[in-house]
Structure 1
Amino acid sequence: MNVVLVVEDDTNVMEVTCLLLEDAGYEVIAAHSAEQALQIADGRSDIDVVFTDVNLHEAPNGIELAHQLKARGTRASIVVVSGDLGWADTPLDEDMRFLAKPYGRHTLLSVVGEACHRACSH
């Protein structure tokens, strides 16, 4: 079973995203802040995908979080999401993808599935 760490500070978005991923068979770990995500990732080497909002209420933002996770040696692929399309043109590392909000179930599962494939093929 693939493991997805979802980092989202909006409780409603978190609940729906986690439910959709769990229904699709993923093991989902929820974090409401970048700090919590870093603590979780430090204790889990089995995370395949980090699915993070860019605009988190507290620093760092989701892209900075992704870079910190990579610097700490995570093997996870990163999906960064935002409703602010100004982030869409931000250069990302090879194993990172941007997903615009709002997204539907099919798009969510497709993007996370591709990210799992990238993580497992490294």
Structure 2
Amino acid sequence: MIPLSESDTILVAEGDALIRMVMTDMLGDAGFAVAATSTVPGALAQLEARPGTRALITGRTLSAVGDGIGLIHRARARWPGLALLITSGAASDLPDLIPADVRILWKPFHYQLLARAVADEIRRCGLAAAPVLPEGSPTGSVQLDLAAAAPARGPDKT
């Protein structure tokens, strides 16, 4: 795995504790340093505390105190170079509610797709190279082609 510094953190903002834990583990296994929260205020506080955060991944629904769509808009306004991804299971209206450059990951998604999408978005935003999956990762010996971008607006099929 590639050691990353505190400023290389990927922030996962997800309201469902199990999904948040699985995504955090998936990204950690891919070599990313990961922080997690379940609320909009928690996400904003972590982004303020870690100005070098490379990407924010949020679910459409977080908690009673905020939603992922609002978080995406606030993060885009405050941190324009931040790589942004949003996850959803079946929200057909989602592409109309978020900025055009925000990557949508349609649930369920595979471990490799999550790692590749995060790395692709970090690179697209002009940030330093992202880690690649380590040998012996849960996906086996499959190597990802991080230069091949999956479609940003349609359902990801893996």
- TM-score (normalizing by structure 1): 0.88
Cα distance in 2 for partners of 1:31, 1:66 equals: 14
3-state DSSP class of the match of 1:90? helix
- Which of the residues 86, 93, 96 maps onto 2:99? 93
Q: Quick check: which one's helix share is greater?
A: 1
Cα distance in 2 for partners of 1:80, 1:58 equals 18
Deviations 1:85-107 (A, max 9, x none): 32443253243111111111111
| Match of residue 82 from structure 2 | 76
In structure 2, relative to structure 1, the CA distance for the partners of 1:74 and 1:40 (3 Å cut) is: farther
SS class of match (1:108) = helix
Moved over 3 A (4+): none
Q: Could you tell me which residue of structure 2 aligns to residue 8 of structure 1?
A: 14
Provide the rounded CA distance (Å) in 2 between the counterparts of 1:9 and 1:91.
19
The code of the aligned residue for 2:48 comes to D
Structure 2: unaligned runs, 5 residues or longer: 129-158
CA distance in 2, matches of 1:113, 1:101: 18
Q: TM-score, normalised by structure 2?
A: 0.70
Counterpart residue identity of residue 27, structure 1: A
1:107 has 2:141 as partner: no
Q: CA offsets, 1:24-51, max 9 Å, x none?
A: 1101010111110011111111111100
- Partner of 2:121, secondary structure, is helix
Give identity over the alignment, percent. 26
Which residue of structure 2 aligns with residue 46 of structure 1?
A: 52
Contact residue 95 and residue 118 of structure 1 kept, 8 A: no
8 Å CA contact 1:88–1:100 kept in 2: the answer is no
Q: Which runs of 5+ in 1 are unaligned?
A: none
